[in-house]
Structure 1
């Protein structure tokens, strides 16, 4: 009973109750306050960890180059860059954390994803047995592209067959691979619904764009630096010859005929490999490789037949075979008007068809001139222009070649382009042993130099209009680039601008789509300085004879003329809101090239590795690098 009484007395006595209540509440209060403090630290740590993760994957994606395209592995320098930025933003032991981790993964779309984690120590919560709070974040960075057009103007002159110091392949082979990697990198980074198109303008002394042009943009006739036979009114007794052709070795195959939109250019090369002569005869062996084509108009397009040669060797025996009386002819070397209207499609809005014409310009004038075939291979002569003396005040009503948006008017032949016919260009008053130029006609029995017989009228690989292209299509195109000819930078820039401009001859194809703006980039790559040759038959004819943009009495040298026109054309391209990039591959960048591109837009690449890095930087600058997770 005594114990029960004590309890009742305690229940009735409330003195000290407050102390007991406070004592009982201290523990949960400490847990609440301590948890808030520790959670605040944890939140700050998690926020900072997220920022570090974002910084890491952004740096890694920015550093990601085309090496990953070919090897499938993230290069070491990419991992180093990502970890460096992560470490700077969340140092080891930050906020007292332990067990810090950061890993990056290359995703299938070439984005870089990351995971970061750390254990953040507690303070007051430690009393309750909670020593650490684990935090973990995820992040991902991707290079995104809007609608983009990329025009690559590529120097494919003969020097591209050379190999840079430190490389194991010729420059043209390196370029092929780098372009493939560049395409793969851009395609892997684009989002659904985004259009990326690619175009190409290989250039040397001229460009091969003829089959991209509408028939009505090409002239019906043109004056070529050729020759005609002139009857002297005399006759003479001359030796007759008999020709005998004998197969020696190799293969010749007739190809099945097929239909095409345009006539392909011949790829065959003819090489004399042996020669001999004796009393009353000459004999020589010729080796042929490649393919020759013949085309017949078949509206629409053409019917193509061809012959393929593989180390085909035949012998020609020229024997005296009596005499005959013939009229005596001489050659008159002068501009000769040739009708090329047959090269057009019957529909003026369809692409140029091309073909061949027969002209009487071959053989010896005595006893009798022979007919020869002149074939269009895709290269063109430029439209009207003039010899500019002040490039700060160019008259585009006269320099129609420098107006990159001007659409040809069939009623104004000066606005139209003309087909280059390589076989009928003769270097008037020039011989293999030398000579002097003659603007006036020259009548002689001499055979002056024919540009095509001396490698002075190279025609680059065909240009390619802007189009969405698969990796297979890109590979097929760049693997067929050939390197030959001299370096004329201006014609490459002019046609790169024409094919890329949204307001020029291809405005309907190059306009923005679906209300979304298109970013436009022109990548100009060269491996050498300007190197024109006055002997060449190119986009402005034979320069000393045609004298359309330059003559020996011009204010500027031919090299200066080409470079001044390049600079003017580059500025015209940039006026179209086109970003110009310039790469010097295995050559020193000149002020002309640097000024065309502008600061931050030119690169000097001395070898394959530096060229790859230049294209990587261009790709990154073209895209929008952002966090997507």
Structure 2
């Protein structure tokens, strides 16, 4: 034993045997730690995937508990990203939850079996990770371009035939427009509007579904922003024209024809060129035909063909021979009526554009009229589908200059008249406003949508969810008129142009990137122009500003304008989404969107809300917060 104790070789062997125990533990722990690292990395990835999915599908209801759909989606994505038995891991658990700031957080746990360390009484290791996803959004400007034509009164699921039958059977009804609206000209406020009554069948009308979809969009965006983010909204409701008068006037009255003294514009109108005897009365005086000379008598007002403010003019003290009863009448009073000539004529619009109540120059009786804010577009190229810089209407960046070509013109429905397309020229009538010579401001023309001045444009501004709801729930957010996609796209693009008349609205904040620009374009039908209505380009039958007389191809000309303006929007960096309440997206809507995946469609109200929420989630950037 003494000799063994003194044997240095044996001592080293014993010491090595003892040292192997911690060395084995150290090597084993390194192996197991490496496994734990790999498993934890995958667990974190799965946790992130789960909360991202949960946030994407989360209901934006303001509640404090994560809804069942979002919870299920979150768990599914977690499971798909962390397979059962991954590196031998077991008992993987994932718990998603809604946070106080309306985002989604999650906690994931798993047990990892030890390989070597289990020999040292450590059979498993518990791993835990946390994660959180949020929608986040940079400064963004969003313009809704919304179809508010008559067919929006129909159900989303209605076919074209069903919708046409509904609109034909339900005449537009009168309503009173709001008495207060900062976007409206004085002549619009408290005036009478007309709208097709919305269907109450099923789940209601298309425009009802649109109101909800816009609110749902705003709710998603609101849940995605923090106090340091600026999101602004603009609205363009479109039919055959646009109510942009106040928006332009606020920037510079001089941008409108009428914004300078003695400005005049051409209207398809009428004026008095003569007079005729509308009725007469007198007393038989017994004179023969030979002795019954024609005497007109004294006129009031004195000068023909002037009429008094009550619309009357007469000759008194006259004489005439009535061939119907072969009788001479004396002391004759002749009540006169106006003979109108119809055609294009310049009218002074200075007071009209300034928001004043002015006299209607086409009526013999004193009649007041005021501008509702709808406009005629500036100069364009006619009869073509290929446009150059001479099409001022299609240039969202062009600032108006002197003259009328680059300025917008006020629509004046009360003085704009229909007339015969063929026949004797000039076209005249004896003052009877029959069906062929009605003005577009009359009840009949407005009820039928031949003049459909809608809700005023709202320029970009910060809007709360309540503000947005107030816009789409307003009494004048109603359906009437025909579908002209180009009118809406022209003005949606113009509102977002950083160098046009609304450049100041589009300015970014100091020290911040240029705001992202988005257009959400909604319609329920194809382009449907009518050469007989009064719209953004006047009355096409007479003005010929779009077709140059080739009205058979009017739809093609308007589609070309629409697609051209979609291209201008993309050139300006605007992210365009199109949405159709239809069984498919038309070729034009698909071409207009930034890409085909952004041309969406549906035939249900719930589907419309889902699409708008989908767009909002794409606009908002989903990201991992921790």
- TM score, norm. by length of structure 2: 0.77
Quote the Cα distance in structure 2 between the aligned partners of 1:330 and 1:70: 67
Quote the Cα distance in structure 1 between the aligned partners of 2:389 and 2:32: 74
Larger % of strand: which?
1
Within a 5 Å distance, the mapping from 1:6-21 to structure 2 comes to 16-21=10-15
- Please name the residue that 1:305 is paired with: none
1:300-345 Cα offsets, whole Å, 9 max, x none, are xxxxxxxxxxxxxxxxxxxxxx99533343122222432221245x
Q: Deviation of residue 625 (structure 1)?
A: 2.4
Secondary structure at the residue paired with 2:546?
coil
Quote the Cα distance in structure 2 between the aligned partners of 1:552 and 1:576: 33
- Please name the residue that 2:96 is paired with: 104
Q: Deviation of residue 172 (structure 1)?
A: 0.9
- Please name the residue that 1:449 is paired with: 438
Q: Deviation of residue 77 (structure 1)?
A: 4.1
**1:156–1:202 Cα contact (<8 Å) kept:** yes
**2:233–2:462 Cα contact (<8 Å) kept:** yes
Is 1:199 aligned to residue 208 of structure 2? Answer: no
**2:218–2:465 Cα contact (<8 Å) kept:** yes
Work out the number of aligned pairs and report it. Answer: 514
Secondary structure at the residue paired with 1:370?
coil
Is 1:229 aligned to residue 229 of structure 2? Answer: no
**2:5–2:11 Cα contact (<8 Å) kept:** no
1:578-629 Cα offsets, whole Å, 9 max, x none, are 1111110235321111111132221012212222222233223223322221
Q: 1:18 to 1:530 in 2, by over 3 A?
A: same
- Please name the residue that 2:409 is paired with: 418
Structure 2: runs of 5 or more not aligned: 159-201, 259-263, 283-330
Structure 1: runs of 5 or more not aligned: 1-5, 240-321, 345-352, 363-368, 430-435
Quote the Cα distance in structure 2 between the aligned partners of 1:217 and 1:103: 60
RMSD across aligned positions (CA): 2.6
2:452 to 458, 464, 486: 458
Quote the Cα distance in structure 2 between the aligned partners of 1:329 and 1:228: 9
Q: Deviation of residue 34 (structure 1)?
A: 2.2
**2:243–2:375 Cα contact (<8 Å) kept:** yes
Q: 1:201 to 1:17 in 2, by over 3 A?
A: same
Secondary structure at the residue paired with 1:581?
strand
Quote the Cα distance in structure 1 between the aligned partners of 2:520 and 2:82: 39
**1:439–1:545 Cα contact (<8 Å) kept:** no
Is 1:55 aligned to residue 90 of structure 2? Answer: no
Q: Deviation of residue 440 (structure 1)?
A: 4.8
**1:382–1:539 Cα contact (<8 Å) kept:** yes
1:116 to 108, 123, 134: 108
Within a 5 Å distance, the mapping from 1:165-180 to structure 2 comes to 165=157, 168-180=203-215
Quote the Cα distance in structure 2 between the aligned partners of 1:372 and 1:132: 92
Q: Deviation of residue 510 (structure 1)?
A: 0.9
1:536 to 533, 536, 542: 533
Within a 5 Å distance, the mapping from 1:478-557 to structure 2 comes to 478-480=472-474, 481-515=477-511, 516-553=513-550, 557=553
- TM score, norm. by length of structure 1: 0.76
1:349-377 Cα offsets, whole Å, 9 max, x none, are xxxx4233212434xxxxxx323222211
**2:236–2:492 Cα contact (<8 Å) kept:** yes
Q: 1:98 to 1:468 in 2, by over 3 A?
A: same
1:182 to 193, 212, 217: 217
Quote the Cα distance in structure 2 between the aligned partners of 1:71 and 1:9: 84
**2:281–2:333 Cα contact (<8 Å) kept:** yes
Quote the Cα distance in structure 1 between the aligned partners of 2:333 and 2:492: 56
Secondary structure at the residue paired with 1:562?
helix
Q: Deviation of residue 491 (structure 1)?
A: 0.7
Secondary structure at the residue paired with 1:334?
strand
- Please name the residue that 2:555 is paired with: 559
